Amino acid sequence: MSLLNIRIVGDPILRRKAKEVMEFGEELETLASNMVETMLENDGIGLAAPQVGILKRFIVIGLPVSEDSETRKIFTLANPVVLERSEEKEVLEEGCLSIPEITEEVERAVQIRVQFQDLEGNYQEMTTEKVLARVIQHEIDHLDGVLFIDHLSPLRRTLLRGKIKRLQQDQAQTAREA
C-alpha cells in the first residue's frame, strides 16, 4: 500500500466530472487500499478518487464504529448514485481533505437511498442516515466536480476567498519545492 497525493482546491481535476468505473478486480482493490490508507493517514472519513487525481466514480469511507473507538467501518462504493433523498434536511459543519483547515455549515438530506457497485462489480443498495448519508453525499459531489464550498451562500464564499487563495499559494509553493 502507498499514500496518494491529495489534490487541493484550485487543482482543475477537482472540478471535472469523473467517469464510471468499468473494470473491477485487482487494480480497483489496490486503489481502494491506497485511498483508505491515505484517508486514514490524513484523519479523513471519506475520500473520492478525483481527490487523488483519478477521474473514476469511486469513493471510500471510514467511520469510527463508536465515538471512543480507533476501529473504522470501511465502505467502498463504485459508481454510487443517490436514488432517494429525505425531505428532512440538517445543517452540520463539514470539512474536506482537499480544502484543509476550512470548515463550514452545509445543508444535506438526513437520509438517502444509494445504489453502488462493490469491489467485485456487484450492484448493492443501502438506505442510510446521519453521518454516513452526509459523507456519501459529500463524496458523490466530488465525483461531479462539486466542492462543499459550492453549497455556501455567495457571501460565505466571498469571505473564504482569501483563505482559499492562501491554500492554493501554499500548495503551489510546495509543488515548486518538490
- Strand ranges (DSSP E) for 53-173? 58-64, 72-85, 89-96, 99-109, 111-117, 123-129
First CA to last CA distance, the chain = 22
Q: Cα–chain-centroid distance for residue 49?
A: 8
What distance in Å separates the CA atoms of residue 53 and residue 37, rounded to the nearest whole number? Answer: 15
Q: Is the dihedral of CA 166, 172, 174, 177 positive or negative?
A: negative
Instruction: Point out the catalytic residue in the list 67, 84, 101, 139.
Output: 139
Q: Is 139 a catalytic residue?
A: yes
Give residue for cell 483563505. Answer: 163
What distance in Å separates the CA atoms of residue 93 and residue 104, rounded to the nearest whole number? Answer: 5
Are 60 and 1 in contact by the 8 Å Cβ rule? The answer is no
Q: Which residues are catalytic?
A: 139
